[in-house]
Structure 1
Amino acid sequence: MKAKLSQSLVKQITVLLKVLIIAIILIMLYFKLIDQQDLLQEMKALFIKGFTENRWLLLLVILLMPVNWFIEGLKWKIIAGKIVHLSQWQAFKGILSGLTIGFATPHGIGDYLGRIMTIKHRQRFFLIGGIMLGRLSQLGVTLLFGMVGVFYLFGLKTVVYCSIAVLVTSILLAVLFNRVKHIKSVGRFFRMVDDYSVGEVCKIILLSACRYFVFSLQFLIVLFVFLPKFDLCLNVAGVTWVFLAKSILPSFNFLSDLGIREYSAIYFFENYQIEILPVLCASLFIWMVNILMPTLLGIPFVFQLNSKVEP
């Protein structure tokens, strides 16, 4: 009897948590959009003009969104494959669930929980290390290409200094990570990283590079739509800079990456006397397509998350 009551209580708490997460997402989204009200009004004319003159290009950007998250789903299949086989649809649901919960949590912590809770295997929490491996591979690709933007802004000398700093930091993180694996309380969640073969790690890195190419292409297309004078080299450098800043600057609260994206875009393009409003318009459009839309699509999957595991 007690066991049944306990299970019923856990189920009720789980449902309440799901409702609370969705409520937080919707409330915070509302206030964020209210904060951006003035900016949105100024951008309205640009959006109308963009859709009127280049609707097919903007439609292409929207169609590339599922391609972006499909690639991330392939990465998740490889990572989760160490304990359970996932179909592409199951992997996609895990990605959207993680994105939706991560939307309302600092540092995207909810992304770990959302992905893991879609898997019912009893060893699912051991995938934390695998998720971190996927994130680090994406960060590594972003850092590599981000040096293009650094070069444009600060020159070759700064690129050399940054490269040395990244190398030293990577070595220190590798040493720290190796030590963490031997701490009994938390190390067990990271030891699975050793189970991934060199070939699997290379696939994860390659897929990370493909994702980077897709969302960079999206940003370049949108910049082309909203900026009448399109300088390909400059915009490529600007895109790499924006993604670099978004990846390395800390995100302490909900949606803070949107503010980082805006600020980093302004910081880069204003150095070249480029009108800022179209750049902000492009940045906001990318955020709506790649973050807002899939987050809203992932809301139904959050209600399907289950705390039960298979024996």
Structure 2
Amino acid sequence: MIPLNKNIKLILNYVIGPLVFCLLAWSIYRQLNRQPNWEESFHQIKLAFEGIQVWKFVLVCMLMLINWTIEARKWQVAVTRLQPINLLQCLKAIFTGTTMAFFTPNRIGEYLGRILYIEEGKRIQAISVTIVCSMAQLLVTLMAGIAGLLYLRNVISHTAPLDDSLLFWTNTVLWITILGCIVLTLLFFKLAWLVKLMEMIPKLGKLVQYIRVLDSFNATILWRILSLSITRYFVFIAQYYLLFDVFDVDLSFAETFASMSVVFLVLAIVPSIAMITELGVRWKASIELVQFFSTNMIGVLATSLSIWVINLVIPALIGSLLILSIRIFRNR
């Protein structure tokens, strides 16, 4: 690896943090201005804060902290294969990763943010470990998405029996999701096979040293990571259920689960960048799916905006401040 000039290290260590914070604040402002009805949604949120249900907002914020703490614990279980790390450091890594994810398609920058808390010689290996955590969360998203699509297919067949094209596309997405779920399940629980397969390919031999740590992921560890992912998923659903109630979107828990599980599926597979398009994708998908159960579209928009701010914007802002305290490169 080419050694970096000392002045370049100083720039990377002490300039990136403030720059990321300013860029993040600007991008949030720009994205909000780009969305239709955002002012009306903010008005609905303001009214909710002035009402008797403000405690539900507080609870949703507490669930955000629980959500990211669960993710931090999941990452700790995985990354301990490389180096000992406490839960607080993991939580800082998660928030920093959320900041970096804000600027990249489908949140892939999350890996870069997290590995800043790993020793320099182990950072590439940490990416493969982090991918295991992402695989577990995606697997849960696919499984829940299948359940949601089955529920919606039943609803569509009763509310729009003549709309054959809608049923066709629902079935198509359902079967593609089932196939993807099967493939991902095999990959997730057979990580050792993946390592051995790469060892057999000469051109990929150099990469094996970075993923060999995956050999240490036995079934117990994988199930622990998966169970934490499932718990985290239901925290997401609970947040939507609470805020739908705040904004008078009359959905049962089953309807909330069905519609939001498909929204999460869309967010997982449709290319998006959090600082540019994710809020728009979230709004559009939520409206299209919740309309089967409710006509209160302003309430849906206010819920989606609230979730976006609470679950992504606030953690990303926290992460941008944490970047100020990180020394990306250490003196040797």
- The TM-score range, normalised by the shorter chain, is 0.7 to 0.9
- For residue 46 of structure 1, what is the aligned residue in structure 2? 44
Amino acid of the residue matched to residue 224 of structure 2?
Answer: K
Amino acid of the residue matched to residue 223 of structure 1?
Answer: F
| Partners of 1:97 and 1:115 within 8 A in 2 | yes
Question: After the TM superposition, which of the residue ranges 117-126 and 293-302 deviates more from structure 2?
Answer: 117-126
1:165 to 179, 197, 204: 179
1:98 aligns with 2:127: no
Cα offsets for 1:168-206 (capped at 9, x unmatched): 543796799554565134343323222212111111001
Residues 64 and 13 of structure 1, relative CA distance in 2, 3 Å threshold: closer
In structure 1, C-alpha distance between the alignment counterparts of 2:42 and 2:177, rounded to whole Å: 40
In structure 2, C-alpha distance between the alignment counterparts of 1:164 and 1:301, rounded to whole Å: 39
1:215 aligns with 2:236: yes
Instruction: Report matched runs for 1:222-237 at 5 Å.
Output: 222-227=243-248, 229-237=250-258
In structure 1, C-alpha distance between the alignment counterparts of 2:266 and 2:174, rounded to whole Å: 18
For the residue of structure 1 that corresponds to 2:275, the secondary structure is: coil
In structure 2, C-alpha distance between the alignment counterparts of 1:273 and 1:29, rounded to whole Å: 29
Deviation at 1:300, TM superposition (A): 1.8
Greater relative contact order structure (CA < 8 Å, 6+ sep): 2
- For residue 87 of structure 2, what is the aligned residue in structure 1? 88
Instruction: Report matched runs for 1:180-199 at 5 Å.
Output: 180=198, 182=201, 183-199=204-220
Deviation at 1:13, TM superposition (A): 3.7
- Count of residues in Structure 1 that have an aligned counterpart in Structure 2: 307
Cα offsets for 1:140-167 (capped at 9, x unmatched): 0111111222113224993862454225
Structure 1 spans left out of the alignment, 5+ residues = none
In structure 1, C-alpha distance between the alignment counterparts of 2:255 and 2:126, rounded to whole Å: 39
Question: After the TM superposition, which of the residue ranges 180-189 and 42-51 deviates more from structure 2?
Answer: 180-189
- For residue 11 of structure 2, what is the aligned residue in structure 1? 12
Deviation at 1:296, TM superposition (A): 1.0
- The structure 1 segments of at least 4 consecutive aligned residues displaced by more than 6 Å after TM superposition are 171-176
In structure 2, C-alpha distance between the alignment counterparts of 1:13 and 1:45, rounded to whole Å: 40
| Partners of 1:129 and 1:191 within 8 A in 2 | no
For the residue of structure 1 that corresponds to 2:149, the secondary structure is: helix
For the residue of structure 2 that corresponds to 1:64, the secondary structure is: helix
RMSD: 2.8
Deviation at 1:230, TM superposition (A): 3.5
In structure 2, C-alpha distance between the alignment counterparts of 1:27 and 1:219, rounded to whole Å: 27
Residues 293 and 163 of structure 1, relative CA distance in 2, 3 Å threshold: closer
- For residue 34 of structure 2, what is the aligned residue in structure 1? 35
Identity %: 27
- For residue 127 of structure 2, what is the aligned residue in structure 1? 128
Residues 47 and 19 of structure 1, relative CA distance in 2, 3 Å threshold: closer
| Partners of 1:149 and 1:238 within 8 A in 2 | yes
1:270 aligns with 2:291: yes
Structure 2 spans left out of the alignment, 5+ residues = 158-169
For the residue of structure 2 that corresponds to 1:299, the secondary structure is: helix
Amino acid of the residue matched to residue 42 of structure 1?
Answer: E
Amino acid of the residue matched to residue 110 of structure 2?
Answer: D
In structure 1, C-alpha distance between the alignment counterparts of 2:90 and 2:194, rounded to whole Å: 27
| Partners of 1:138 and 1:209 within 8 A in 2 | yes
Amino acid of the residue matched to residue 166 of structure 1?
Answer: G
- For residue 280 of structure 2, what is the aligned residue in structure 1? 259
In structure 2, C-alpha distance between the alignment counterparts of 1:309 and 1:76, rounded to whole Å: 23
- For residue 74 of structure 1, what is the aligned residue in structure 2? 73
In structure 2, C-alpha distance between the alignment counterparts of 1:162 and 1:78, rounded to whole Å: 31
Question: After the TM superposition, which of the residue ranges 187-196 and 236-245 deviates more from structure 2?
Answer: 187-196
Deviation at 1:208, TM superposition (A): 0.4
In structure 2, C-alpha distance between the alignment counterparts of 1:251 and 1:228, rounded to whole Å: 26
For the residue of structure 1 that corresponds to 2:325, the secondary structure is: coil
